[in-house]
Structure 1
Amino acid sequence: MRLLALLAVLALAVTGCSGSDPARPGVLTVGIREPSTLLPADLSDQAGRLVTGALWTPLADYDAASGKVTPRAAESIDSADRVHWTVKLRAGTFHDGTPVTAQSYVDTWRAVAAGHWFSTPVLTELLRAKEITAPAPDTIAVTLDRPSGQVPALLSAPGLVPLPASVLASHDWNGFAKAPVGNGPYRLDGPWKPGSGGTLKRVGQGNAQEIELRVGEPAAQYDAVKAGTLDLVTEVPGEKHDAMHADFGDDHHATWALPRAGYLAFPVADPRFADATVRHGFALGVDRAALEAGPLAHQADPAKALLPPSDAPGERSGTCRPCSFDAAAGKALLKQVAFPGGATIYFGPGAEEWTRTLTVGLHKALDVSVTAQAKPGTGPLDGPATLDLKLATASPYELLSQLASESGYTDDVFRQNLALADAAATPAEAGELYRLAENQLLRDLPVAPLWSGHGHAVWSSRVHDVTTTPFTGPVLAGVSV
């Protein structure tokens, strides 16, 4: 009996499940990885955004493809001149019972702008407001330093949700992340338990009365959903990718675009990479399908455009020639310009494995010496660098400006098109200008697109109404059991 009890304990530790029957009326059980934090402004991982997406309600939802803004905590986000913006709030309260007011947002954004968090650049580099005030409890007034139509997209960022006055006064960010207080349809019942998870209780509009979040490894959680001891898992490991379709069918799994993409950035100021022909040669030498099936473990798609689907203003009409794998053409381009050969490709944290696979593939395809090396802390690079970019907003402006910055690309026409897109009066006009800027980057190729991330979820037969968004993945408040 003691042996059986020990085996039962070990089984629970592996699966990350509580061992209880998930088929309880109104209770949804969800398997996730350990979130990096539950402080919204410092989040860039899928697990954390899934949880905070249930704990908070953003000002609005923004769809990059259509430019459509769906008000949530805001009643409206309007401007007559795209310089002076007014946000009208719906009535709302935090989970501690205090009201959510315009001052809540003003004070939160002041803290975010002063911090060194993942979402800080949304305010300091993208929004660039001259003044943000609360002229009335239900009104936020934003004055920009230039006309911008991107304000609804930026203010809809999941990192700009409001924080209660208690943590804004104490600045105990670490303590708050362990017991977050939001304004969303669910509250956390007790503190978050690292390595275990937490329970969400419904306090607003949500289908499940209670959501049990269980931290564990995706492979074991996948098997638990298949066995009926877990309702939903929000990540499918690479080894389960092909089986997913047969195990769960079209009605019980989903794939969605993540706000994440990989690139190869060239040092355009370096004489060896100053010619766009060299850059195109390297781009054509990348076997993106091998990266997707290998080190990226089916968690990404080979790039078909510069802008990933999560950030793209509608479908791209033309083909992306630099996204193709054509070793012969790539080798011919390098020979055409007498590329001297030999290149070091630098990688940052978390990108070593797929960068090393990339370098092996480039060496084989282009017949030049290519090695991989960790990126130094300071100083210019003498070779290309891989980028694994995680986005804080759905605005193409964020990504396009970051790509130009990472490569040192300073073309005036590109900068002008980017500025015009930012200032555009309508989403359609902005989308056309963003595509012009994207096309110019694909022509000059200071960065080569490699892959775009996607997420997977599978769920049991008792689960219904699963919808996904790029930033949250499955929308927990909408899931029915």
Structure 2
Amino acid sequence: MRSVTRTAALVTGAVAMLVAPVVAMRAWSDPADPRISVGAAPPATLVPGDVHDPAGRMIAGAVWTGLTAHDGRGGTPVDAAAESITSPDRRVWTVRLRPGGRFHDGSLVTARSFVDAWRATLREGWHGARLFTDVARVKGAGGRDDDVDGLKVRDERTFEVTLDRPLAGFPALLADPAFLPMPDAVLRSRDWASYGRAPVGNGPFRVRSHDARETVLEPRDGRGRTVVVRAMPDAAAQYRAVQAGDLDVATAVPPDRHGSMDTDFRRHHLVVPGRAMTYLVIPEWEKRFAGPTVRHALSMAVDRRAVTEGPLGHQASPANALVPPGIALGRREGQCRVCVHDGAAASAALADAGGLDGPVPIWYEAGAGDDAWVKAVADQWRSTLKLDARPRAVPAAELREAIADRKVDGPFVLHSAADYPAPAAALAALPHPGGDASDLIEQAERAAAPDESVVPARLAESSLLRDMPAIPLWYGHDHLVWSERTRGVTADAFAGLALARLTVTD
């Protein structure tokens, strides 16, 4: 970098080696420099079908153009690489690509670029595979070979997707990185490791370089600013760097700075409502938890605000519904009346239900970062309801097996994130053993249009809140703070920070 070289020439030896990185960071914040710097945790991978973390999703949104894109408001998707996505029955979908789409290496984006990338995701068992098998339920997607009955290429720009059952939210689901295309060269070579180090996409930015320290993205058309995503997993370091002028955008805020964001950054901060929520699921096979009154009592005894502002460090907000606020379509605030902390009402409700005898274990995954808040909830239940509440951390595989075998004898933690912006996507992930809720969720998924899914989803939510098979606790949210020179900072719950929209003042 020229600015670093000029500065280093003024000093000598070890002093130059020490100051050069700091000078480089400041150069990125110099209005005369064309780069924009963003701090984030390092992405786990940049192979599209395996992308699953916030940093990976953020970078993928700049490097690739999917069939659809989120509108930035958690609502209806818009066509992007797709010219049209149509279906007569919401089960068989015909996708027609826009003409002329090309990857950064100049190769043409075709129907096979998508279909063969999807087959690779299924064959390799990448993170996105479950969206094909469990969410979209593409016909024949359960195997580990390239023969998927529900994926048919019709011509260079057209392919057909057949699902096992109707899903109105399928076009919205297609905005997920799991459904991105890959060039024919990498699909033939199957050299995923090399591709992950130097991915070739079809979006507004190309990857100039990518390593453990940073990812450098440059506009594919040569116009605009280069974006440098620096690997900075520590929220406090990001925050201080923006304050010092060494970083343009921080994608995390430390707990102790949550209350001072407005003072520190005035109008240059943003809280992005999330798509993920945390629940306590009540095991339906445990008869002592069978009555909804017992479950309502457990919910009212949880002081959600005390937990989110304490052990969770302001990185989550108390839940007042079953649907996370990152979903704008049809979501209603304040649907969960028994999510309001009321110790006296909780004690009275539990007494009316005949009490709850014996130990009440709270099962959760060991090593998942839940220890502090689970202990806090157990303490609240002991204090308010006089229960023998006991945190029980077990390895992930053991927990899954215990749930499957119905050996879990108390509430267990469920972290769930909606896969596309519709209430049905959030509710479908919750336990709803038969009854009205199941029928209503299925009706919402089969709706002729996204707007038509709202009413049955709301009715399903009301039904689930009455029976409360899962107690909503809180939803995650993201924080952004940025420098005075930065403009165009926008984000949503599904794609994260929109790197392609960032600009800086000269």
Common fold by TM > 0.5: yes
Partner of 1:20: 27
Q: Distance in 1 between matches of 2:248 and 2:74?
A: 32
Quote the offset at 1:185 in angstroms: 0.8
Q: Please, which of 365, 371, 380 is the counterpart of residue 384 of structure 2?
A: 365
Partner of 2:182: 163
SS at structure 1 position matched to 2:78: strand
Q: Please, which of 145, 169, 172 is the counterpart of residue 153 of structure 1?
A: 172
> Is the Cα–Cα contact under 8 Å of residues 287 and 361 in structure 1 kept in the other structure?
yes
Q: Residue deviations 1:263-297, cap 9 Å, x none?
A: 11111111121222211111111111012111221
Task: Give the % identical residues.
Answer: 39
> Is the Cα–Cα contact under 8 Å of residues 304 and 319 in structure 1 kept in the other structure?
yes
> Is the Cα–Cα contact under 8 Å of residues 38 and 227 in structure 2 kept in the other structure?
yes
Number of matched residues?
469
Q: Distance in 1 between matches of 2:427 and 2:413?
A: 16
Alignment of 1:19-418 (within 5 A): 19-23=26-30, 24-62=32-70, 67-90=75-98, 91-130=100-139, 131-190=150-209, 192-194=210-212, 196-204=213-221, 208-216=224-232, 217-250=234-267, 252-311=268-327, 313-316=329-332, 319-336=335-352, 337-348=354-365, 349-376=368-395, 377=398, 378-379=401-402, 380-404=407-431, 409-418=432-441
CA 1:157–1:219 in 2, change beyond 3 Å: closer, same or farther?
Answer: same
Q: In terms of mean alpha carbon deviation, does 314-323 or 331-340 score higher? A: 314-323
Give 1:287's aligned amino acid: D
CA 1:292–1:421 in 2, change beyond 3 Å: closer, same or farther?
Answer: same
Tell me the TM-score normalised to structure 2 length: 0.87
Q: In terms of mean alpha carbon deviation, does 17-26 or 421-430 score higher? A: 17-26
Quote the offset at 1:100 in angstroms: 1.1
Partner of 1:430: 453
Q: Distance in 1 between matches of 2:358 and 2:249?
A: 50
Alignment of 1:441-480 (within 5 A): 441-480=464-503
Q: Distance in 1 between matches of 2:448 and 2:499?
A: 34
Q: Which runs of 5+ in 1 are unaligned?
A: none
Quote the offset at 1:207 in angstroms: 7.1
Give the RMSD, CA atoms, in angstroms: 2.3
Q: Distance in 2 between matches of 1:7 and 1:301?
A: 41
Q: Residue deviations 1:332-369, cap 9 Å, x none?
A: 22222221142110112232232222222222222211
Q: Distance in 1 between matches of 2:422 and 2:48?
A: 18
> Is the Cα–Cα contact under 8 Å of residues 30 and 231 in structure 1 kept in the other structure?
yes
CA 1:116–1:465 in 2, change beyond 3 Å: closer, same or farther?
Answer: same
Q: In terms of mean alpha carbon deviation, does 392-401 or 306-315 score higher? A: 392-401
CA 1:441–1:271 in 2, change beyond 3 Å: closer, same or farther?
Answer: same
Q: Residue deviations 1:350-404, cap 9 Å, x none?
A: 3223222222222222221111111351223111111222343334333322211
Q: In terms of mean alpha carbon deviation, does 303-312 or 39-48 score higher? A: 39-48
CA 1:171–1:234 in 2, change beyond 3 Å: closer, same or farther?
Answer: same
Q: Distance in 2 between matches of 1:331 and 1:5?
A: 66
Q: RCO greater where, 1 or 2, for CA within 8 Å and sep 6 or more? A: 1
> Is the Cα–Cα contact under 8 Å of residues 269 and 481 in structure 2 kept in the other structure?
yes
Tell me the TM-score normalised to structure 1 length: 0.91
Q: Which runs of 5+ in 2 are unaligned?
A: 1-11, 140-149
> Is the Cα–Cα contact under 8 Å of residues 259 and 311 in structure 1 kept in the other structure?
yes
